[in-house]
Structure 1
């Protein structure tokens, strides 16, 4: 029997009517039924789940294997049973409430095989009001790990796992836990994986909120259930990850998410149980939390942990109530600005009876930065920028915003002043208008010939940022990702005149973030691809002695008269003829009557950039004219070099008469 690519394991308990869509979404996967097996474990359902499973098995014969067992009380036992019978190279755990996008398995298997990874996270989409994890799905990540990405912030098992990884490490779901069992399965799988892939560009898993809120993975429990699994998760981290940034990265998740969830349940329990649970929680987090972690944590998380460490139960209950009200409010918490620091006005801020340190309230580094670009244009050597920028919840008083240019490789930077402009009613559509930012506007002009402390900016990629400052606080942010619809992010390459000669300057937005960068000196945007010449060279229809060349110039700008055809001959003569441009096309006419005698070659030139001129057609008729009553001609040069070769000469009258006097071949002599 052929080994399938994927074994999809479905734990089902009273899963109707969601089960039908779930199983159908797997059976109809584009990877094909030959590459699939579906293992469904009915965990003692009392509704129509069993009947529907057998019906679906008849619809898809040979595809679905059904196991029935008494109810185990949780998803661990049915998932383990399915894993024990799986034969696929990969396994995917799917809850019976959820369903897959049509190409999900094909795309995830392909990503795993191409990159040699053991786990693949497919983008999750919430359905029916269910909130799906999002921070790890901002972009595709072909190969990453648990320490250099956000994958650890989703520990549910609805992912693609290489089965060999699970068997090699004997990974199974603990059956003695009612919640948190997924963390003790997925966490070790992440840590032992040879690599992890993230497929963010396709909606793989639709995560459904059941109308009866009966999802297995949503069972709430209380503090006791959380204090049962959390110490085991801490032990798992301590045993597998040495002290340092890696351990702190994982600890951040649990010290933020699990602690908050536990405290949410703590408020509903009797006082003796609250005191006992708080003491156990403080002991549990002690191995993970140290002061060096504070920079990774939000101010709210720092405050929670301080109160937990010091067993400040009443304050924790008050904070939990504050957080519930804050979640319902449309207004963000006000801040206290003091000596260049921003402190959130959370409960007990600078309360002398509690003596909680300011570090538990400090949100200076986490202040939201709001910005938008309303103008971004390059005219000649000058870049014009305009827009607004402000710090969320910080009034635009004593504004000190500057424009920052920083060269990407050398890190050389220049800070340039901006003109502050009024922004009436800015902030009215945020926080119910509670905060106003009426002096957040700016205008800036950057001349590339003087921006480097009076001198020219050197060639390089100059990233553009704003150092947004108000009331003694400054935050720097790259700009361009937020811009008005009238502001283009498309690369615009210019050739500009400077005292050092012509220079290439391109204003563009980076991918994928969309921030503005100024490219000086063709680091990423060469000039020549913007210039092209048509192959056909002809005599102008209205001027039979003017050679006409046509082409395209897609530059956003260049000095007037700089685009020209320059020609020279074998006798040292040279001249040029300016192109006439219209809507990206150009025409150059070369009046051969003005050229001295010789063999002429040339190029299309724009400053120091040049394109060779196309060769003249061999059958191009000669142009003829009179200069000082003597006959002249211009025609393709015989045995000319590659490219244009034009022979200009005075007609030799003796040779011309001789040719005329010779009898034509076949004619009778007189």
Structure 2
């Protein structure tokens, strides 16, 4: 048996079927995994649903607990005890897996001999999920130096021997944070931890109603679990210096992503706030003072108040930090938060340097290809600065070449009250041979001596251009295509510059108007104003103004008028002659997409001589035809 999936179930009748469907329909063969469902004395029809799946699928196991445990820890422990798999995966009854999750998870773990493998998480219905540790796949991550401490949920693939040989189970005396204690214990005992970030393995679903993560938990219970984690780190085999750093990483996570985040603001009643602060202080007392030097500055300030038993100061500081714009000013090119709550403490200026917390909040209202210009419009503000200070910012648009790191700068054509518009000439982006490649767009904002640069694009109104949209230009060195697009990983704006030699087209002709159309399927083409189609027969050349450019559902139609062209280019001494079409320059050719396409351009009666000088009027058809990626005139 390769994998045992453990699913704790309590009153999940409306959700459990979706979960189980994702489990029984995995691409891994059913004989290679088992699904252990542990019913925690449900009072709805959950158990009936589980038994239906048990009858239908041989790899479904159902355990019925006789007493409700009050939390998922005990049911998970029941599953661990009977698990037959080489690996154990914990799945909550309201979540589900990607179809290939088990096969990918197991193969990756076996290949890398992993004790624990973190598979990429995906939130559903607005559910937030940890992301920082899934930026790239890594078969061997470091517990202290990586971001994996920021995900302490049990939705991971654990080697069964790791859990059973080290007697790692979920603590059952608490109803929240038991998964954090469990996962940290497993992290500390694991010899190799891996991250697979190339597939959405586990889908966490946000549901209506109460969830354990937001349910009330007594402070002594919650902070008791936190002390258990600190005790586990202290008792681990890590070197002492790494223990201290790991505690600091855990504190960073704890104060920014747990119930302790802005705890004095959440609790309105003074007595209850004092109770929570008492147990929080007890927890922090268990953390060696040496860890404080490695935490983030805003957390170090919190620890200062807590270690000094200063609940009043912590409460005031958290109120001030919530309104940080009111207290932040620019000093010597850095952002300094002058919090009144800190006046009684002698602190280093580095602790109130909040430059690292600042972000440029931006939104893209419109991206447009207009003539030979890429127009980018939106709004931008510094998150930590008030509106009055933001009025003083100056902007620069920056295109950065992804490979060479060369930069090209643009001033906004419009900037007022945080609203900007950049108009970037495509020929300026593509002006030399080394400009070929991908250019990533940034905005740099400056106020006084403070500068901040940010990638933009992922916050925007819907983009009106599909992936096949491209501008065709000529910089006098080469013909190029410029494709604006949004990056796969971070969804930010980039432009891809490539040399362009030809575009395949299907022909269409209106005999009455003598309009010839080139239909470029699956390509949305934009051209500079005044563009022409260049027509050549090898002896002479003629530029024909483009009559119309129409965006169609499946591509672009460019139309020219053939009337003068027919008169000039038909050579009556040649029954068939090669004709080349191009856009603006002969280096940007149009070639046929279909072979043997024939268009009748015109019918005429002409006098032809036969034997014995006999003359006869005959009807001649002037045709445009295609053959092996070439165009021909023929009569």
Q: Same fold (TM over 0.5)?
A: yes
1:172-225 residue CA offsets vs partner (Å, 9 max, x unmatched): 226597475533432354554563346658744557764899969888626455
Residue 183 of structure 2 aligns to a residue in which SS? helix
Say if 2:530 is the partner of 1:560: yes
Alpha-carbon spacing, 1:240–1:586, altered in 2? closer, same or farther (3 Å): farther
Which has the higher mean CA deviation after the structures are superposed, 555-564 or 160-169?
160-169
| Structure 1 position 385, deviation (Å) | 3.6
**C-alpha contact (below 8 Å) 1:403/1:444 kept by paired residues:** yes
Say if 2:152 is the partner of 1:155: yes
Aligned partner of 1:595 in structure 2 is 570
Aligned partner of 1:280 in structure 2 is 286
Say if 2:94 is the partner of 1:100: yes
Q: Distance in 1 between matches of 2:501 and 2:292?
A: 55
Say if 2:506 is the partner of 1:533: yes
Q: Distance in 1 between matches of 2:416 and 2:44?
A: 69
Q: Distance in 1 between matches of 2:82 and 2:371?
A: 70
Aligned partner of 1:83 in structure 2 is 80
Q: 1:586 aligns with which of 547, 555, 558?
A: 558
Please list every run of 5 or more consecutive structure 1 residues that lacks an aligned counterpart in the other structure.
Answer: 43-47, 424-439, 649-670
How many residues get paired? Answer: 584
| Structure 1 position 411, deviation (Å) | 0.7
Instruction: Please list, as runs of the form range in 1=range in 2, the aligned pairs for 1:209-288 lying within 5 A after superposition.
Output: 210=210, 221=221, 223-233=223-233, 235-236=235-236, 238=238, 252-254=252-254, 260=260, 268-269=274-275, 279-281=285-287, 283=288, 286=290, 288=291
Q: Distance in 2 between matches of 1:242 and 1:86?
A: 33
Alpha-carbon spacing, 1:84–1:601, altered in 2? closer, same or farther (3 Å): same
Say if 2:412 is the partner of 1:418: yes
Alpha-carbon spacing, 1:337–1:637, altered in 2? closer, same or farther (3 Å): closer
| Structure 1 position 393, deviation (Å) | 4.0
Aligned partner of 1:510 in structure 2 is 487
Say if 2:471 is the partner of 1:480: no
Residue 135 of structure 1 aligns to a residue in which SS? coil
**C-alpha contact (below 8 Å) 1:146/1:152 kept by paired residues:** no
**C-alpha contact (below 8 Å) 2:3/2:34 kept by paired residues:** yes
| Structure 1 position 475, deviation (Å) | 1.1
Q: Distance in 1 between matches of 2:98 and 2:411?
A: 53
Say if 2:163 is the partner of 1:195: no
**C-alpha contact (below 8 Å) 1:326/1:332 kept by paired residues:** no
Instruction: Please list, as runs of the form range in 1=range in 2, the aligned pairs for 1:458-469 lying within 5 A after superposition.
Output: 458-469=435-446
| Structure 1 position 232, deviation (Å) | 1.4
1:235-254 residue CA offsets vs partner (Å, 9 max, x unmatched): 54835996999997667435
Q: 1:119 aligns with which of 108, 114, 117?
A: 117
**C-alpha contact (below 8 Å) 1:370/1:389 kept by paired residues:** yes
Larger radius of gyration: 1
**C-alpha contact (below 8 Å) 1:40/1:67 kept by paired residues:** yes
| Structure 1 position 79, deviation (Å) | 3.1
| Structure 1 position 481, deviation (Å) | 2.6
Aligned partner of 1:172 in structure 2 is 168
| Structure 1 position 257, deviation (Å) | 5.2
Instruction: Please list, as runs of the form range in 1=range in 2, the aligned pairs for 1:346-495 lying within 5 A after superposition.
Output: 346-349=339-342, 351=343, 353-394=344-385, 395-418=389-412, 421-423=415-417, 440-449=418-427, 458-484=435-461, 492-495=469-472
Instruction: Please list, as runs of the form range in 1=range in 2, the aligned pairs for 1:319-330 lying within 5 A after superposition.
Output: 319-322=313-316, 325=319
Q: Distance in 2 between matches of 1:497 and 1:85?
A: 69
1:368-418 residue CA offsets vs partner (Å, 9 max, x unmatched): 312233443344444444433221242135433222222111111133333
Q: Distance in 2 between matches of 1:204 and 1:393?
A: 32
Q: Distance in 2 between matches of 1:366 and 1:372?
A: 19
| Structure 1 position 280, deviation (Å) | 3.1
**C-alpha contact (below 8 Å) 2:117/2:157 kept by paired residues:** yes
| Structure 1 position 85, deviation (Å) | 0.6
Q: Distance in 1 between matches of 2:444 and 2:531?
A: 39
Q: Distance in 2 between matches of 1:594 and 1:54?
A: 83
Alpha-carbon spacing, 1:228–1:532, altered in 2? closer, same or farther (3 Å): same
| Structure 1 position 479, deviation (Å) | 2.4
Aligned partner of 2:131 in structure 1 is 136
Alpha-carbon spacing, 1:323–1:104, altered in 2? closer, same or farther (3 Å): farther
Residue 221 of structure 1 aligns to a residue in which SS? helix
Aligned partner of 1:303 in structure 2 is 301
Aligned partner of 1:183 in structure 2 is 180
| Structure 1 position 469, deviation (Å) | 1.8
| Structure 1 position 580, deviation (Å) | 4.1
Q: Distance in 2 between matches of 1:289 and 1:456?
A: 52
Alpha-carbon spacing, 1:223–1:319, altered in 2? closer, same or farther (3 Å): farther
Alpha-carbon spacing, 1:218–1:577, altered in 2? closer, same or farther (3 Å): farther
Q: Distance in 2 between matches of 1:637 and 1:461?
A: 39
Aligned partner of 2:113 in structure 1 is none
1:298-338 residue CA offsets vs partner (Å, 9 max, x unmatched): x4213124556xx4222xx23432366469x7886531332
**C-alpha contact (below 8 Å) 1:22/1:99 kept by paired residues:** yes
Alpha-carbon spacing, 1:237–1:634, altered in 2? closer, same or farther (3 Å): farther
Alpha-carbon spacing, 1:56–1:396, altered in 2? closer, same or farther (3 Å): closer
Aligned partner of 2:553 in structure 1 is none
**C-alpha contact (below 8 Å) 1:565/1:602 kept by paired residues:** yes
1:45-77 residue CA offsets vs partner (Å, 9 max, x unmatched): xxx659978766765556444365789897655
1:70-105 residue CA offsets vs partner (Å, 9 max, x unmatched): 8989765553332121124553435xxx6234x537
Q: Cα RMSD over matched residues?
A: 5.2
Alpha-carbon spacing, 1:603–1:339, altered in 2? closer, same or farther (3 Å): same
Alpha-carbon spacing, 1:76–1:244, altered in 2? closer, same or farther (3 Å): closer
Q: Distance in 2 between matches of 1:81 and 1:393?
A: 49
**C-alpha contact (below 8 Å) 2:472/2:479 kept by paired residues:** yes
Alpha-carbon spacing, 1:502–1:451, altered in 2? closer, same or farther (3 Å): closer
Alpha-carbon spacing, 1:516–1:37, altered in 2? closer, same or farther (3 Å): closer
